A and B are shown apart, each in its own frame.
Chain A
Amino acid sequence: MIPGLELESASFRYGELWVLRETSLTLQRGSNLVVTGDNGVGKSTFLYVCAGLVPTSTGRVLLDGQVPNQLRPSDLFRHGVRRGFIFHSGGLLSNSSALNNVILPLKYHAETLGLDEAQIDSRARELLSDVRVSQNDFHALPAHLSSGVRRRVSLARALAIQPNFLFFDDPDANLDRATRALVYDMIERFRDDHDVTLLLTSTSRELLDRLQVPVRELAHGHLLEKT
């Protein structure tokens, strides 16, 4: 078994609020975990810490054996750590269209991904179509899209980099039935992919029942076992 995500005595706090206290956790590559917990316990922050987007106060995080905070994001990418992150809200570049949001990482890493201009464009369109974004919305700015479509564009962008880590913050929040079904299908694909380590935060009973993956509860800075 190869470790994918490792927390080594990781702590993090916002002022007086402990999100994590000396927590250790190992997720093998290709394994899955859903973190649940009450509102305000820091589930989103926990996800940022695990993805290396926010540094720990003490301890460290390793992704495929690399410490994300010690490397440039592009170096991490070149070392094979590809983090797809779907934020609960925001995350899309507000001054770029839906299509350009997906194109950007493909263009930036064109050499590493082995893509030329034409392939980048067609790949981005294909990804947006896969998550059922209408062609009419391809050139719209995120502010002009519904929250469901924005979530799908974020998903397409995360898929664009062929992630081996997928971090999904509250995947089915504020989504209609059709978009929720699409998101669940996508998550199930990643759940069954042995190359992708999947970490979700959610409080949705429907999602937990459907995914049937290990669940931990975040409370007072500790990850508690949950059945």
Chain B
Amino acid sequence: MSMSQDPLPTARSTMPYDPRRDYRPRTGVLGAVGRSALSNLRGLAELLATLGNAVASISTPGGSARRTAHAVTLTQILFTGVQAVTLVSIIGMLIGATIVIQTSLMVPGADGELLGKILVAVVLRELSPLITAIIVAGRSGTAIATELGNMKVSHEVQALSSLGIDTPRFIVLPRVVASVVSVVVLMVYFSVVAVLSAAVIGQSVLGPSPVELRAGIGRALLPHDLVLFLFKGIGLGTILGWFACHYGLKVQSSPTEVPRQASAAVVKTLLGCVVYDTALTVLFYWFGGPPLR
């Protein structure tokens, strides 16, 4: 039987490495287009499966397995969240100061009311989630994808499977949960640092006291903001952990694949985060936010 005639089954595999991906029957241009579309669909299905399997693994029996996964989650929170505090502090401080300086240039003599509105609309609703996500993607997204890629190359993931340890539960879920917790907490922290920085710089450049600024922020904030903030934090954190794990685990056997997949992880994470953030912002103003003027 010749190679091109060998039938390959269509059944999906549950294993991270599937040799059937390598199968490429020879066809024309239409075939190539169709194959590319199918490949993209398969890629999307695999991406969704990575998250789906991780979520489904929550219900897997075994208290000791759960405790082991919790320990991994705590380690990941330390790495993704706690170790990013310094960087988030510096960037938050500089962003707060920049907003005040820009405001003072465009609206000289802006009061606490206006500055509060600007900080809520720009920092709390937009920059805090997005910049936190970018920092975490740059710091931890690449690290997670690289770590998992190297684990694939050195057979660590296969070894875990042979020992009866589930990859979705032991590897993916802890990283996604840690990413969500870290992003939400870092977003709050970023917002606090940026507002404090704006208050200090604002008083010296524009004049409104921190008390006036606090009152301005209080009036600009809506109950919906809390919902938006949480949805952004949870969604962006999920995208970060999920994409980093997915692309890391896509590495098959060659070390040269690791940087390629790490790069794909960051690029696609950033794209995913911006699309998600924009979609939520549009929905927020559409359904419940203050009118755009």
Contact = CB atoms under 8 A, between A and B. Distances in A.
Interface of A: 12-16, 48, 51, 53-55, 57-58, 69-70, 72-78, 82-85, 87, 89-95, 104-105, 107-112, 157, 161, 167
Contact of B9 (A58, A70, A105, A109): A58
B219 interface: no
Interface string B102-123: 0000000000000000000000
Return the 9 tightest CB-CB contacts between A and B, nearest first. A77-B164, A90-B154, A110-B64, A85-B162, A91-B159, A90-B155, A105-B163, A55-B13, A73-B161
Interface of B: 3, 7-9, 13-15, 17-20, 22, 57, 60-65, 67-68, 147, 150-151, 153-156, 158-167, 169-170
Contact of A157 (B63, B65, B163): B163
A108 B167 CA distance: 12
Contacts of B20: 57
A15 B20 CA distance: 9
Contacts of A111: 62-64
Contacts of A84: 162
B19 A54 contact: yes
Given A16-B3, A58-B8, A108-B68, A74 B165 contact: yes
Contacts of A74: 60, 62, 65, 164-166, 169
A104 B163 contact: yes
A94 B19 contact: no
A161 B158 contact: no
B211 to A, nearest CB: 49
A149 to B, nearest CB: 16
B155 to A, nearest CB: 4
Contacts of B19: 12-14, 54-55, 57
A69 B15 CA distance: 7
Given A69-B13, A108-B64, A109-B64, A83 B18 contact: no
A74 B20 CA distance: 25
A16 to B, nearest CB: 7
Contacts, number: 121
Nearest to A58: B9
Contacts of A13: 19
Contact of B166 (A51, A53, A57, A72): A72
Nearest to A45: B19
B163 A53 contact: no
B26 to A, nearest CB: 14
B140 to A, nearest CB: 15
Contacts of B7: 58
Contacts of B170: 108
A70 B14 contact: yes
A167 B158 CA distance: 13
B14 to A, nearest CB: 6
Contacts of B160: 73, 93
Contacts of A83: 162-164
Given A54-B15, A108-B170, A93 B156 contact: yes
Contact of B154 (A75, A76, A94, A109): A94
A118 to B, nearest CB: 14
27 contacts: A12-B19, A13-B19, A16-B3, A53-B158, A53-B161, A54-B158, A55-B18, A58-B9, A72-B166, A73-B160, A73-B166, A75-B60, A89-B154, A90-B155, A91-B159, A92-B159, A94-B150, A94-B154, A95-B147, A104-B165, A105-B165, A107-B68, A108-B65, A108-B164, A108-B170, A111-B63, A112-B62
